[in-house]
Homo-oligomer: A and B are copies of this chain.
Amino acid sequence: MVTAEFQRARRPEHKEQRREAILAAARVLATRDGVRTVTLGDIAAEVGVHKSALLRYFETREEIYLQLTAEGWQEWTEALRIALADAEPTPSGGSAVITSTLAARPLFCDLLAHAPLNLERNVSLETVRAFKVATLDRVAAISQLLSDALPGLGPDGGRKAVAAVSSLAATFWQVSHPPETLARFYAEQPDGGHSLTDFPRRLEELTTAVLAGLTAST
């Protein structure tokens, strides 16, 4: 995939193609190997260029992943918009849709933990501002979708639900994808670690509880 062309993109549309190629490579590698393990060098190798070429398009490895996180929020919003239209208007109905749309997006779930802890901390103010503006806009859209779909939730409950669900998804996804040492520990447990590593089940149970609690209290 090495092309001299890649190094010399000058026209805006060519620059955009280069950015897309880099994001596509990062997407493939991080989905396969996990966000944690994929370096800027790995992405450069996948694209077929030297690391320094990437830095003309993105300021850091973290900017690449923040961009994928923003895309994840956008895609999840659209998936929810479609799926919530057919959901049962109850906490368990909403939870089933939230869980299935998140479980179908493993890279986004992986990024949800890395964004606040690592990614947002290694980019410029300009980059983090663009990311947060885009993300908070998606959070507002999802809050609205949820409060429209679930009677009694209300706009405030919708906002709290998005905060809780994205936190739970971030945590449970990491726990359910343990490093090899921890996977061996879980395998030694009476239930084979199932009670800790079954991501969809844990997310759905607690999302139902959160939605039930927020619906009851607002």
Q: Contact residues of A with B, CB < 8 Å?
A: 36, 91, 113-114, 116-118, 120-121, 123-125, 128-129, 132, 160, 163-164, 166-168, 170-172, 174-175, 178-179, 181-182, 184-185, 188, 202, 205-206, 208-214, 216-217
Contacts and interface: CB of A to CB of B under 8 A. Distances in A.
Given A116-B174, A128-B182, A128-B185, A208 B213 contact: yes
8 contacts: A36-B121, A117-B117, A121-B179, A125-B185, A160-B209, A211-B213, A212-B213, A213-B213
A120 B179 CA distance: 8
Contact of A205 (B160, B174, B205): B160
Contacts of A211: 213
Nearest first, the 6 closest Cβ-Cβ pairs linking A and B are A213-B213, A209-B213, A212-B213, A167-B171, A125-B181, A121-B179
A63 to B, nearest CB: 12
A156 to B, nearest CB: 9
Contacts of A185: 125, 128-129, 132
Contacts of A214: 209, 213
A97 to B, nearest CB: 17
Number of copies: 2
Contacts of A174: 116-117
Given A121-B179, A125-B184, A164-B209, 17 more contacts: A113-B113, A113-B117, A117-B174, A120-B178, A121-B182, A123-B181, A125-B181, A132-B185, A160-B205, A160-B206, A167-B168, A167-B170, A168-B168, A206-B210, A209-B210, A211-B213, A212-B217
A190 B45 CA distance: 43
A48 to B, nearest CB: 30
A208 B211 CA distance: 12
A210 B170 CA distance: 17
A125 B168 CA distance: 26
Contacts of A170: 167, 171
A216 B210 contact: no
A163 B167 CA distance: 11
A29 to B, nearest CB: 18
